[in-house]
Amino acid sequence: MTSVPATFKALRIHQVDKKTEARLEAITLSDLSAGQVVIRVAYSSINYKDALAVTGKGKIMRGYPKVAGIDLSGTVVSSEVPDYKPGDAVVVTGGNVGEVFDGGFAEYARVPAEAVVPLPPGLSLHEAMALGTAGYTAALALRRMLENHQTPDLGPIAVTGPTGGVGSIAIALFKRAGFTVAAITGKPGAEKYLRDLGADEIVDRNTLDVGSKPLETARWGGAVDNLGGDTLAYLTRTVKPWGTIGAIGLAQAPTLSTTVIPFILRGVSLLGIWSVECPRSWRLAIWDRLAGDWKPNGLTTLIAPRTVTLDDVPAVAEELVAGKAQGRVVVRIGSDL
Ligand SMILES: NC(=O)c1ccc[n+]([C@@H]2O[C@H](COP(=O)([O-])OP(=O)(O)OC[C@H]3O[C@@H](n4cnc5c(N)ncnc54)[C@H](OP(=O)(O)O)[C@@H]3O)[C@@H](O)[C@H]2O)c1
């Protein structure tokens, strides 16, 4: 049985003179926050939130020093709860890991049992991190929008921030679920990538006329929004009657300036999508779908072709906060078994 070595490698965020510093350092198990399950980490991934935490561009961490990384996959070393035994393959996304609790950018993690999901059959540890919080969140949006009666006949789904992690997987998921998908991107040069994912239409966000009237010509059956700000306001004005907007992110701005008109004169719904503290039954069901009929094609080749090491994380984090990254980036930390 594997045991935890006296020291292991971790990317920890420190705060010095009110500035954050990411340090690759040797730590011990007792340095980690309390939790019932100790995991030998095989892979992690870099989400927008991780990029904010590592670069210090956003306040993500509750307390310092703390290991960053909101996602991890790996094998259980020990568990204080009967649901997990040593050697079990598991996935952790969200659950306040990498924010309140120490996270996945380390060779070993200790996390609350509530945050752990058994790796579903049909997914490898690597594929689980190609999906990560980004994939889980895109799937949560699909689930919530379907529950709210979003159907392909309402019209195309507009995906904003489509070259990013959540956006890329949202395109693949909605296309697979039978929807027509439009990618509203700031990188029109990424057209081939977006079409390979399944986008039927590419819209250049840089030249898009977002209008200003409470209602503009209805164009989209629904939308998955990663940007917030003016882009989300535009979507509220242009979604067709009874369409749903899944509000996921704030890569452009945390603000929303609109009127109630789209909601009361077109029946448009604005659904909040929050991946961190989902009901456990939803979490298990969504991971099963992601390993089965919702599993995107090309997960580790098209969506997450890049695998980096812990040493590379700070540089990749800078790319993400600058909006320059494409798709998902997996972090390889230990071996698969
Ligand atoms: N609600 C939740 O539970 C949840 C879960 C996961 C993520 N999120 C949020 O969802 C958003 C996307 O996350 P992610 O991990 O997919 O991030 P990401 O991989 O960095 O992708 C973000 C994408 O947004 C666009 N973008 C970036 N900066 C921008 C800017 N300043 N103005 C306009 N567009 C910009 C870019 O796409 P284009 O160039 O193609 O436009 C970029 O590729 C983030 O705000 C994140 O915090 C929320």
227-249 pLDDT, tens digit per residue, is 999 999 999 999 999 999 999 99
Asked whether 165 lines ligand 1 (CB < 6 A), one says yes
Q: At 106, give phi and psi (nearest 5°).
A: -160, 155
Residue with CA at minimum distance from ligand 1 atom 27:
323
Residue nearest to atom 34 of ligand 1 (CA): 252
Please tell me the distance from the alpha carbon of residue 124 to that of residue 55, in angstroms, as a whole number.
Answer: 29
Query: pLDDT band for position 142 (50/70/90)?
Result: very high
* CATH fold for the domain made of 135-272: Rossmann fold (3.40.50)
47 ligand 1 Cβ < 6 A: yes
| 228 Cβ inside 6 Å of ligand 1 | no
| SS3 at position 118 | strand
Q: How far is CA 281 from CA 89, 256, 277, 278, 287, in A?
A: 19, 31, 11, 8, 10
Encoding tokens for residue 73?
């996959």
Q: How far is the CA of 237 from the centre of ligand 1 (A)?
A: 21
Q: What are residue 9's DSSP bridge partners?
A: 26
Ligand 1 atom 45 nearest Cα? 249
Is there a common fold for 8-119+305-332 and 135-272? no
Model pLDDT, residue 336:
73
What is the predicted pLDDT for the residue at 14? Answer: 97
pLDDT for 27 equals: 98
DSSP 63-99: SSSEE--SEEEEEEEEESSTT--TT-EEEEE-TTBTT
pLDDT for residue 310 = 97
- Please work out whether the CB of residue 67 comes within 6 Å of at least one atom of ligand 1: no
DSSP secondary structure code for residue 97 in this structure? B
CA 65, 74, 58, 141 torsion-angle sign: negative
Test site for ligand 1: of 44, 47, 185, 274, most ligand atoms within 8 A of the Cβ: 47
What is the mean predicted confidence (pLDDT) over 157-175? 98
Q: Say yes or no: CB of residue 320 within 6 Å of ligand 1.
A: yes
Cβ contacts of 271 within 8 Å, gap of 6 or more: 141, 144, 145, 148, 244, 245, 246, 247
Q: What is the pTM of this model?
A: 0.96
- Provide mean pLDDT across the span 98-105: 97
Ligand 1 and 162: CB distance under 6 A: yes
Q: What is the CA(322)–ligand 1 centre distance, in A?
A: 10
**Closest alpha carbon to 197 in 135, 123, 133:** 135
pLDDT level of residue 337 (50, 70, 90 thresholds) = low
Q: Higher model confidence: residue 323 or residue 246?
A: 246
Say how far residue 56 (Cα) sits from the centre of its chain: 19
Q: Using CA atoms, how far apart are residues 77 and 88, in angstroms rounded to an integer? A: 8
- 252 ligand 1 Cβ < 6 A: yes
Query: Quick one: which atom of ligand 1 is closest to the CA of 325?
Result: 43
Report the C-alpha gap between 165 and 138 in whole angstroms. 9
Contact 129, 299 (CB under 8 A): no
User: Could you state, in order of their start, the residue ranges of all structural domains in the chain?
Assistant: 8-119+305-332, 135-272
Smallest CA separation from ligand 1 atom 43, residue: 164
Q: Which superfamily is assigned to 8-119+305-332 in CATH? A: Medium-chain alcohol dehydrogenases, catalytic domain (3.90.180.10)
Ligand 1 atom closest to Cα of residue 194: 40
